[in-house]
């Protein structure tokens, strides 16, 4: 019979006869127990993943800032900074598995969705509200539809953005065909929501073998996209300038949906499978070494195909 050794609001730790600590529930990121070593092992993955997510966000911001003032894609300073989005999906798969895989015996699907909404949706609403407040200030040649769409469409797009309902091409109010015209980068979080839904309904139930098969299928789609095989005929000729990249996923067109799903599925499933396998390599200062490697990879310049 387990003995309760610590209980705080929303957080309980039990100790069984084999002297193992088991967490039954928690709502905070910081854990309190009498075993400091146990605390460290619980906090480290979440702490490092949050730091990595923040770093990935900074790299994406720098990528787009340099993109605005660069002479072209070939001269981007952080040329592959957009890959930080895909890295974030890897982190997401790992952290979701780490945080929730062993909690389904005491947590419902509705409870999972509630936790994720509390965690993610306030920023969705905040970003949409800030974007809406600055919407008309963005009127320029770069956003040709601002000031030329009816008010009801702007209002409906705002409501859809706050509810995380992606807008189709007919609801475009800026001219870029985005899922959320008030907060363009929100497209990646839209795919993150889909990943959480698929995890709760399907992925969490799958054994590692089936998860590995799905990961391999997603890897094939990634190769199809990156090497421009176009096996499924979904990539259009208008993608010429973006060939051999994974750039895309922010619109509701067949091509963009395929790109977005591909960018989501392979990294997310890889992260989840890495957690499930559990074969981790301990490296002193590993977080900083990995961060350095990512910065170098993201800064690799664009190499024209004729070089090869």
By three-state DSSP, how is residue 3 classified?
strand
Say whether both 140 and 69 belong to one domain: yes
Residue 22 has a pLDDT of: 35
More confident residue, 60 or 199: 199
**Interatomic CA distance for residues 178 and 249, integer angstroms:** 9
Say whether both 235 and 268 belong to one domain: yes
Say whether both 218 and 148 belong to one domain: yes
Q: Per the structure, how many domains does the chain have?
A: 2
Domain that holds residue 21: 1-34
Residue 172: is its pLDDT beyond 80? yes
Q: pLDDT (tens digit, 9 = 90+) per residue, 99-114?
A: 999 999 999 999 999 9
Q: Mean per-residue pLDDT for 197-226?
A: 97
Say whether both 47 and 21 belong to one domain: no
CA-to-CA separations, 176 to 146, 179, 180, 298, in angstroms, rounded = 11, 9, 10, 25
Say whether both 100 and 6 belong to one domain: no
CB of 253 closer than 8 Å to CB of 169? yes
Say whether both 269 and 295 belong to one domain: yes
Instruction: At 15, give phi and psi (nearest 5°).
Output: -125, 125
Say whether both 26 and 172 belong to one domain: no
* Structural domain contains residue 306: no
Say whether both 26 and 45 belong to one domain: no
Whole-number average pLDDT of the chain: 81
Say whether both 65 and 12 belong to one domain: no
Residue with tokens 């798969």: 93
Say whether both 57 and 180 belong to one domain: yes
Say whether both 21 and 121 belong to one domain: no
Q: Mean per-residue pLDDT for 69-89?
A: 77
CB of 89 closer than 8 Å to CB of 215? no
Candidate ranges 11-15, 243-247, 258-262; pick with highest mean pLDDT: 258-262
Residue 12 has a pLDDT of: 35
Kindly state the DSSP code that residue 24 receives in the 8-state scheme: E
3-state helix, strand, coil in the chain (%, to 5): 60, 5, 35
Say whether both 99 and 150 belong to one domain: yes
Q: Is 117 exposed, middle or buried (0-12, 13-18, 19+ CB in 10 A)?
A: middle
* Structural domain contains residue 255: yes
Per cent of the chain over pLDDT 70 is 77
């Amino acid at each position: 019979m387990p003995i309760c050794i610590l209980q705080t609001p929303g957080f309980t730790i039990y100790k069984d006869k084999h002297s193992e600590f088991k967490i039954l529930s928690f709502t905070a990121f910081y854990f309190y127990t009498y075993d400091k070593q146990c605390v460290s092992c619980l906090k480290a993955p979440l702490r490092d993943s949050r730091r990595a997510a923040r770093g990935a966000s900074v790299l994406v911001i720098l990528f787009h800032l340099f993109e605005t003032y660069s002479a072209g894609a070939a001269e981007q300073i952080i040329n592959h900074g957009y890959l930080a989005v895909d890295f974030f999906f890897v982190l997401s798969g790992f952290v979701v598995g780490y945080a929730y895989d062993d909690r389904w015996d005491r947590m419902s699907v509705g409870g999972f969705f509630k936790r994720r909404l509390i965690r993610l949706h306030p920023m969705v609403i905040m970003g949409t509200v800030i974007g809406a407040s600055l919407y008309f200030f963005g009127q320029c040649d770069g956003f040709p539809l601002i000031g030329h769409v009816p008010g009801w469409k702007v209002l409906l797009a705002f409501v859809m953005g706050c509810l995380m309902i992606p807008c189709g091409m007919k609801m475009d109010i800026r001219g870029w065909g985005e899922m959320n015209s008030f907060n363009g980068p929100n497209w990646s979080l839209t795919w993150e929501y889909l990943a959480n839904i698929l995890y709760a309904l399907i992925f969490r139930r799958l054994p590692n073998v089936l998860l590995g098969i799905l990961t391999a299928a997603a890897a094939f789609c990634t190769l199809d996209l990156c090497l421009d095989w176009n096996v499924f005929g979904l990539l259009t000729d208008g993608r010429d300038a973006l060939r051999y990249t994974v750039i895309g996923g922010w619109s509701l067109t067949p091509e963009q949906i395929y790109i977005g799903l591909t960018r989501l599925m392979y990294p997310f499933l890889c992260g989840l499978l890495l957690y499930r396998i559990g074969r981790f390599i301990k490296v002193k200062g590993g977080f900083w070494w990995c961060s350095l490697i990512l910065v170098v990879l993201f800064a690799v310049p664009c190499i024209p195909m004729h070089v090869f």
